[in-house]
Chains A and B, each alone.
Chain A
Amino acid sequence: MKERAPDYKKNSKIRAALSRKNLKELWIKTGFIIGALAIWEVIARAGRVSSTLFPPVSTIFIALWDNIKTGEILEHLSYSLYLIFIGIGIGIVLTFILTAFYMVYMPFANIMDVVISIMHPLPGIALLPIIMLMVGLGAEAIIIVIVQSVIWPVMVNSIAGFRSIPVTQIELGRNIGMSEFRLVWSVMIPNAFPHIFAGLKIAWSRSWRALIGAEMIFGATGLVGGLGWYIYKKRYFLEIPDVYAGLLVIVIIGVIVEELVMKQVEKRTIVKWGVTV
């Protein structure tokens, strides 16, 4: 399947043009970030706003660095990531099972359609008070909220993905003698993957928001508490630069996941297999 992807390395003209365009884009993007930060710094230092409320960027970076040095922010961050990975992991496994049953058993599909239309629009956070009553306040409650944020978007997208597979491809696969397993693995999953992947992206951002939100509304949830609790705590001690530092970490994680993880997965799957939505 490797042959399908266009090999840019062989065509130096295309590569040069691409990198020129990329370079220009990169310049505009970094220029914007630096400019925005500079304006921020100037406004904060102009002295018209209280620096307690609107700290200069430099103060925020110093606060972030201090919090990294003491390990405080990393401790909270790793706890948040730990919860989210468990939540997403459970969510994906459950989705996989539910979707498999959905595709195979008609009545189950009908029931799930109803369940999805009830559960999908519900923000996980809105369920938290009820979940708390059932399992108590703790990591379990947050993980359930994350799982709820993962299952429905991934499932809806996976179903859409499997339904969009051209019948001819499946029939072709059967005709050349593929086993059922091979058919699912080599034809159905790659074809549905752009949809599944889009669902995963939504799941990631929804669960990340649910996690931070839950901790900010309901306080610490485990032994250390995650980033949301960190921001909450800092707010009540009026450590505003630390609050911004917490936001910065959330942004950085968002960018890392989006630019590195998601884009890499995309490159190795969707682009490589030459499938698009």
Chain B
Amino acid sequence: MKKSVILLIVIIMVLVFILAGCAGSTRESKKVVVAQQYGLGYAPLIVVQERKLIEKYYEGAQVEWIQLGSGGTIREAIAAGTVDIGSMGVPPFLIAWDKELGCKVISALCRMPLGLQTYHKEVETLDDITPDMKIALPSPGSIQHILLSMACKKQLGGPTALDDQIIAMTHPDGANALINEVEIDAHFTSPPYIFMELETEGIHQVLDAERDCFGGTFTFLVAIGTEEFRESNPRLFKAVADALDEAIAWINENPDEAAELLAEVMDMEPDEVYKQLTWEGVQFSKNPEGMLEFLDFMKESGYVTKTTDDVSELIWDNLDYRKAN
């Protein structure tokens, strides 16, 4: 009898702890956690951080910056409630939207040249890729993966034609492997790694994302904000939006200065960063482009379960829906 009473108490206590843990932490409203990744595309966020722009628009704001390795990880952190503002490629965000994680785009970050490179001379189109060749990209569901699927649909007839040949690798690992011609046969990547690869002798491009995959220009990365954060502190939310606006405008107006600041943070030469910032196809803008087209394709191919024609379902109202698509 006594034993079962003790057991009951233990079970109840465990349940109480579990449920208490689920209650969600009530955060101090002046605090915002921003998650970013590595790469040139995150330049607007780096500028916001270095020039303390959120603090400029919201006095006393406590901004915590964390750096995570992939959009998937940032999405998980958002879902778990530990990140307020995240950044990722458009498709990972659309997957989050599809799963109703309660976040929308607060600002687009950039347009960038993405592409698939190989060192196999005989590979000129996707048709030339043999079944034993491996294609590295950051992860399934990443923008690189969806772009490859788009090209597969166009050139090979089915979006998943090469899915079984994909290998998940971080950009630096993939670039290293491709340049040294080990482990992988092709690499779908973004700046600055795509620049490194294209400048290596013997490596050529098989797919240019805008020309061969998407068929037009599109936004590469977006910053997203959670509904919870927006509701708990609308003024701070606005400050983040304004900070991103200013950062993007500043990079566009002062590429020299921006290159210097980024070079210091990214531990690169200012000249090199300047060259990349002004590379053809690199553009920083707060207005997202091509999201609806990505969504349609992902729905058609079964990567998400729903779609929409209304871009305002995907962006917060600090952005002009007439300038987004």
Residues of A within 8 A of B (CB): 39, 43, 46, 48-50, 52-53, 132-133, 136-138, 218-220, 223-225, 232-233, 235-238
Given known contacts A43-B19, A136-B182, A220-B164, A236 and B72 CB-to-CB distance under 8 angstroms: yes
B280 at the interface (CB under 8 A from A): no
Interface string of B163-201 (1 = CB under 8 A from A): 011111100000000000011100000000000000000
Residue pair A49, B22 in contact (C-beta under 8 Å) = yes
Residue of A223, A225, A237 contacting most chain B CB atoms (<10 Å) = A237
B75 at the interface (CB under 8 A from A): yes
Residue pair A137, B79 in contact (C-beta under 8 Å) = no
Residue pair B15, A39 in contact (C-beta under 8 Å) = yes
Minimum C-beta distance from B324 to chain A (A): 23
Nearest first, the 9 closest Cβ-Cβ pairs linking A and B are A219-B168, A236-B141, A48-B22, A219-B167, A233-B140, A137-B183, A236-B72, A236-B140, A236-B139
Chain B's closest residue to A50 (CB) is B79
Residue pair A136, B183 in contact (C-beta under 8 Å) = yes
Interface string of B16-30 (1 = CB under 8 A from A): 001100110000000
Residues of B within 8 A of A (CB): 15, 18-19, 22-23, 70, 72, 75, 79-80, 92, 95-96, 98-101, 131, 134, 139-142, 164-169, 182-184, 303
| Chain B hits for A43, CB < 8 A | 18-19, 22
Residue pair B23, A238 in contact (C-beta under 8 Å) = no
| Chain B hits for A232, CB < 8 A | 139-140, 168
Chain A's closest residue to B142 (CB) is A236
Minimum C-beta distance from B66 to chain A (A): 19
| Chain B hits for A53, CB < 8 A | 79-80
Residue pair B15, A133 in contact (C-beta under 8 Å) = no
| Chain A hits for B72, CB < 8 A | 235-236, 238
Residue pair B23, A218 in contact (C-beta under 8 Å) = no
Minimum C-beta distance from B292 to chain A (A): 20
Given known contacts A43-B19, A132-B183, A237 and B303 CB-to-CB distance under 8 angstroms: yes
Residue pair A137, B141 in contact (C-beta under 8 Å) = no
Residue pair B75, A137 in contact (C-beta under 8 Å) = no
In the assembled complex, the Cα of A133 lies from the Cα of B165 at a distance in Å of 19
Chain B's closest residue to A225 (CB) is B164
Chain A's closest residue to B18 (CB) is A43
In the assembled complex, the Cα of A232 lies from the Cα of B141 at a distance in Å of 11
In the assembled complex, the Cα of A219 lies from the Cα of B167 at a distance in Å of 5
In the assembled complex, the Cα of A19 lies from the Cα of B99 at a distance in Å of 49
Given known contacts A52-B101, A137-B134, A235-B72, A218 and B22 CB-to-CB distance under 8 angstroms: no
Residue pair A218, B167 in contact (C-beta under 8 Å) = yes
What are some 13 contacts across the A-B interface (CB < 8 A)? A43-B18, A52-B100, A136-B182, A136-B183, A218-B168, A220-B166, A220-B167, A223-B164, A224-B164, A236-B142, A238-B75, A238-B98, A238-B141
In the assembled complex, the Cα of A49 lies from the Cα of B80 at a distance in Å of 9
| Chain B hits for A49, CB < 8 A | 22
Chain B's closest residue to A137 (CB) is B183
| Chain A hits for B139, CB < 8 A | 232, 236
In the assembled complex, the Cα of A39 lies from the Cα of B12 at a distance in Å of 11
Known: A236-B70, A236-B72, A238-B79. 8 other contacts (CB 8 A): A137-B134, A219-B167, A219-B169, A220-B167, A232-B139, A232-B168, A236-B140, A236-B142
Minimum C-beta distance from B116 to chain A (A): 17
In the assembled complex, the Cα of A138 lies from the Cα of B15 at a distance in Å of 45
Chain B's closest residue to A52 (CB) is B99
| Chain A hits for B169, CB < 8 A | 218-219
Residue of A49, A133, A136, A236 contacting most chain B CB atoms (<10 Å) = A236
Residue pair A48, B142 in contact (C-beta under 8 Å) = no
